[in-house]
Each structure stands twice: as C-alpha cells, then as structure tokens.
Structure 1
Amino acid sequence: MDQRWERLVFLHWRVEPHIVAPLLPRGIAPDTYDGFTYVGLIGFEMVGAGLGYGRPVPHLGTFGEINVRLYSRDGDGRRGVVFRSLDATRAAVVLATNAAGVRYRWSHIDILDSGVDDPERTVGYRSRRLAPPHRNATTDFVVAPGTRDMSDDPLSVFLTARWGMHTSVAGRPVFVPNTHRRWPLRDATLVRCDDDLIAAAGLGALATRPPDSVLYSDGVRTQFGRPYLATPVRPGRAEVDERR
C-alpha cells in the first residue's frame, strides 16, 4: 500500500518500559532510549492512499488520522511501532482495515492549519470518536512549528526512524515493513493538548502532563510491504537500549 503522510505533529511522553510491556503483542519488547520508552500521539493527513505505488483510491485515499503508538523491538532486533489506536475519518477505510486486523476507529477529525503564509503558523488536530470502543473520546492538540532542523537529533531519529509495525496474528508476532525516505523534522512548541485517546488506549493520565518531545514534519511518501512472522524476544533479552 502506497501513501503520503503530510502535516505531521508528533507528541511523545517518556515512560518506564514496564508500563507499556503488558500492552505489546506476545514476544515483542519495549524499545528503549536511555532506559526509557515512549508513548506517541501523532496526527497527520494521509494523502493518496492506494494499492501499489502511485495508485490512490478515489474519494477514500485522503483523510485525517490520529494514532497512539508504542515503540517495539522483536527477537531479531528489528525496531517498529505498536499501534494502540488509530482514528480515521473514512468509515469505509475503518471497515476494510479492521477486517484485515488493523484497529482503526471511525472518528470525526479536523485538521487545524493556520497556513504556510502565516508567520506564526500553527498546525494541529481535533477529533471525536463516533463509534465504540470509547465512543465520544476526544483529542485536541496544536503546535507551532519551529525552524530548527531535528533530522539528526538522536532522540528524534529514535522516535521516527521506524521501518514497520509489530502486531499479532493468531497469537504470533508479525512485522509489517514500511519504507520511506528520511524524515524532514523540525522542532515545535506545544500550544495546547487536551486528550482522551491516550487514556482510552490503556495508558492512564499520561497526557495531563506536558510531552517530553514535540516535533513537526511536512511529510514523506511511504509504502507498506507484505507482513511476515517476527522472531519473538528471548527471555532475558528484552532490555536492549538504543544508547547502549
């Protein structure tokens, strides 16, 4: 599946690995940086999603998405993300992806962009979930993109240079590869964040404190490949740190 992700807002909170470990698929461990892992709240516009390279699905291939994600590692050391929730505005996309085992939730999403010509530009996302689970859960977060290039910042690379997602099929860990060019990242300043989605994803009141990392990206083109079975993490090998 080929698609472009645009106007991305990344909010991340640092947490102890043991907090997220029970929320990961069996055989998958938290990926850590300086002894901590992270919970991400990410909003973006998915543009031209379709089957195969450059073949968008008319009327369905462009929509807003907000996801809550965790950072993962399998037994081969392959890094990925685990989605705790994905909210999208297209009901047909939600139905199709749920049938494929991807947990999209139908939501109303507003993309809040004051425009590239605004010298004090702000970009954000506001949503309300329209169907169970957690019907009426909302989020509203806005950032002011900065000018500092964060593309080589080690923590920012750790949080964004993810080449696939981990999930579970019939109780076995699976890796779905994703390819894209290096993220063009900038610093950003949080304007506001009023969020229910992180708590709805089983992570408590984390969003009541300011995020530890705030980033913005204009976007990249990405392509998902075919999933395959991942090697489970062996007992005693879960604590492998990016900085060690």
Structure 2
Amino acid sequence: MDAVDDVVEPISVTTPRRVGRGVLAQWWRDLTFVHWAVEPAAVAGLLPAGTRPDVLGGATYVGLVPFRMDRVRPFGGPAVPYFGSFCETNVRLYSVDAAGRRGVVFRSLDAARLVPALAGRLGFSLPYRWSSMSLRRDGDLLTYRCRTRWHHTESTLAVRTGPPIGRPTTLEQFLTARWGLHVSWHGRTLYVPNDHPQWPLHRATLLHLSDELAPAAGVPVSGEPVSVLFSPGVPARFGAPRRVR
C-alpha cells in the first residue's frame, strides 16, 4: 500500500511498488550521477503541485545524470531498433508527495534521438529536447558531451570510475534508489512508478565538468558536487501513471 498522512516511505534499494509488465521497459547503461546539495526552499517552486522537496539531513539535491538509454520496449514488445538506443542527460530534483511516495522531477531531459524526445514531450509532458550528444569510453575513463541544437547550451563531463561500493551510504541510496517520477500533465500532477534491480554502484572521480544544463533549467548549483557515482546500469520498467491528490 502507498503511505498515507504524509508518512514518507523508507529509503530502500528495492522498490516498494512492483511493476509487472508495465507500459515501458528499457535499459539504463553507463550512468554517472553528479549531485549538489541545495536548500529545499531554493527549489520548492520548481516542483509540480502536490509535491515538495524530498529532504535528507536538512538538504535536498540537484542531480546531473548522463547515460545511455538502450533497448526501449513499449508495452512489453520487442526492442525498438535505432530509436531505442541513444545518449541522454537529465537534470533532476527530488520530490515527495502527500502519499509519501519519493520520486524525481526532471527539469530537463536531453536525448540524442528526435523521435523519443518528441514521444516523451508529447506523451508525458516531460521536458525533452533533441540534442547532439556523445559518450566516449576509454577503459575506466568516460567522457560525456551534450549540446542542445537550438540554444547551444553545452555540458561536458569526464569521470574515472573506481571500485564497486559494497554497501551504499544512506545518501547514495537516497540519490539513486528512486522508484518513480512526478510530472505535471495537463493541469494535474502524475506519479509514474518504476521498478529495477538494486543499482550496482561504483565510486567515481570527477576529472572535468563544464555544465550549462543545470543553470539553463533554472536550478541553483554552485561549488563542488557532494557526490559522484557511476553505475554500469540496470533494466527498468515503468508502470501506469497515478494521479497525485
């Protein structure tokens, strides 16, 4: 059951809401999670109605997450060729609703394929953009590049992956084990659940970061990130949207 009366569900490496066949399945691969701590009041106005910043230790967080989307499969069907595999980068915030469901709110989503970007924008009102993107891997060195096609906003991120994390900290779980998203949709706020195995996480060293995506998304970040993580990835499923009341 969903939590009630503003009781927030526990932070967990496994989903509290299993998704069966789902409406969309995909793989997330070669992800880097870069996070900054911010004051909750600084981002509260950027969240959908019926949600508030999800807070840990008095702070909430802004995430910059580049990765590869792979093997996108709508409604349990076969993987979509060509359009189902592409680089993506998101800028995200952390949210919780009155039912206690923790989620993410995407402030921007850049995708290297036009059709998925249009489908996400038109079908789910997600802030997708068609952008020029690349991921280069040389051993344990990964370099992600993104450039929006119209406003020429750019982001370059280079990290060196480190050893696997045996037991993630509470903060590392909070930032990565998110079991749904909140989105504004035609005057309503929806919660879209997702389900995936526990993240295999690695430490990562930030070698270079030059990012204009977060400021362009209206998100206030400054200083060094408080967390940099890498994951080779997981398969994921999304369930049917639910209205946030």
CA positional deviation for 1:219: 0.3
Q: Matched residues, percent identical?
A: 45
Decide which of 75, 82, 88 is 1:59's aligned counterpart. 82
- Shifted more, 141-150 versus 188-197: the winner is 141-150
Decide which of 22, 29, 40 is 2:45's aligned counterpart. 22
Which residue matches 1:238?
none
Q: Does 1:125 align with 2:144?
A: yes
Q: Does 1:153 align with 2:176?
A: no
Which structure 2 residue ranges, 5 or more long, are not aligned? 1-23
Question: 1:79-102: CA deviations, max 9, x gaps?
Answer: 000000000000111122211112
Contact 2:164–2:200 under 8 Å retained in 1:
no
Residue type of the alignment partner of 2:50: G
* Matches of 1:10 and 1:154, distance apart in 2: 15
* Matches of 2:44 and 2:172, distance apart in 1: 22
Residue type of the alignment partner of 2:134: D
Cα distance, 1:212–1:89 mapped onto 2, change above 3 Å = same
Contact 1:68–1:84 under 8 Å retained in 2:
yes
Contact 1:150–1:187 under 8 Å retained in 2:
no
Which residue matches 2:212?
196
Contact 1:122–1:143 under 8 Å retained in 2:
yes
CA positional deviation for 1:112: 2.1
CA positional deviation for 1:151: 4.5
Which residue matches 2:132?
108
Partner SS, residue 49 of structure 2: coil
Partner SS, residue 77 of structure 1: coil
- Shifted more, 7-16 versus 44-53: the winner is 44-53
CA positional deviation for 1:59: 1.1
Which residue matches 1:98?
121
* Matches of 2:229 and 2:117, distance apart in 1: 27
* Matches of 2:166 and 2:59, distance apart in 1: 20
Which residue matches 2:54?
31
For the aligned residue pairs, the C-alpha RMSD in angstroms reads: 1.2
Give the alignment of 1:150-189 within 5 angstroms: 151-189=167-205
CA positional deviation for 1:53: 3.2
Contact 1:185–1:217 under 8 Å retained in 2:
yes
TM-score, with structure 2 as normaliser = 0.87
Which structure 1 residue ranges, 5 or more long, are not aligned? 116-120, 232-244
TM-score, with structure 1 as normaliser = 0.87
Which residue matches 1:217?
231
* Matches of 1:80 and 1:12, distance apart in 2: 16
CA positional deviation for 1:54: 5.8
Residue type of the alignment partner of 1:85: S
* Matches of 1:214 and 1:32, distance apart in 2: 19
CA positional deviation for 1:194: 0.1
Q: Which runs of 4+ in 1 moved over 6 A?
A: none
* Matches of 2:132 and 2:167, distance apart in 1: 31
CA positional deviation for 1:50: 1.8
Contact 2:28–2:235 under 8 Å retained in 1:
yes
Partner SS, residue 39 of structure 1: strand
Cα distance, 1:226–1:76 mapped onto 2, change above 3 Å = same
Partner SS, residue 203 of structure 1: coil
